[in-house]
Amino acid sequence: MSLFTQLVLRDSIEIKTTPERIWKFFANLEQNYKIWHPKDHVLFKWTEGKPMDSGSSWYGEEVLGGDLRKLKGTIGEVVPNRKIMFKYAFPLSLVSPGFEWLIEPKGSHSVFTAVGYVRCIRFYRLIAKKHVDTSIEVGKKHIREEGENLKRILERKKS
C-alpha cells in the first residue's frame, strides 16, 4: 500500500427541509457561521468574489481540538442547491485539498453530507501517529456536530 493514501471523512444527516433552504443557509454563511456551530465557529467572510461562486475567496476561523485555526481558500466546483467545494490555500493544501458540502433531495427531505479530504494519511501517521489520530477524531466529531446543528436549526426555523 502507498504511503500517500488519501483519507476521506464523511458524515451525512437527513434534514426535514428542501435543498433550496440548505443552500440559502450557506449562501448567508457570513451571518450563519457562528449560529451554525457556536462552540467552534469564530468567523467566516468572503474576501473576494460573490458568495458561493466558483473562484471566490474566503477566510474562516474555527476552534478545533482547543486550537484556533485560521483557514483560507477558494471555492471550486459549485452546483447550486447540490454541491459546493471549498479548496484550502497553501500551506494547508499540502495536507488537505479541501472539503465539500453535498445536498441531495430525498422525498420531502434532504440529505446533507460533509466530506473532508486528508492527503498522505499513512505518511503522516508514521511520523506523528498520536497527533494525526487525534486530529482525525476531532475532525469527525466537528463535521458530525455541524450536520446535527444544521438539522436542528433548519427544522426549527421556518423561512
Average pLDDT (132-137) is 72
Domain boundaries, the chain: 7-156
Pick the CATH number of 7-156 from 3.30.530.20, 3.30.70.520, 1.10.357.10, 3.50.50.60: 3.30.530.20
- Inter-residue contact 152 to 35 (CB < 8 Å): no
Helix (H) or strand (E) holding 103, with range, is strand 98-106
155, 16 Cβ separation under 8 angstroms: yes
Q: DSSP assignment, residue 92?
A: G
Side chain identity, residue 77? E
Per-residue pLDDT band at 132 (split at 50, 70, 90): low
Mean pLDDT of the chain: 89
Which amino acid makes up residue 150? L
Q: What is the pLDDT of residue 4?
A: 58
CA 5 to centroid of chain Cα atoms: 21
Chain Cα centroid distance, residue 97: 12
pLDDT tens, position by position, 46-73: 999 999 999 999 999 999 889 899 999 9
* DSSP classification of residue 119: S
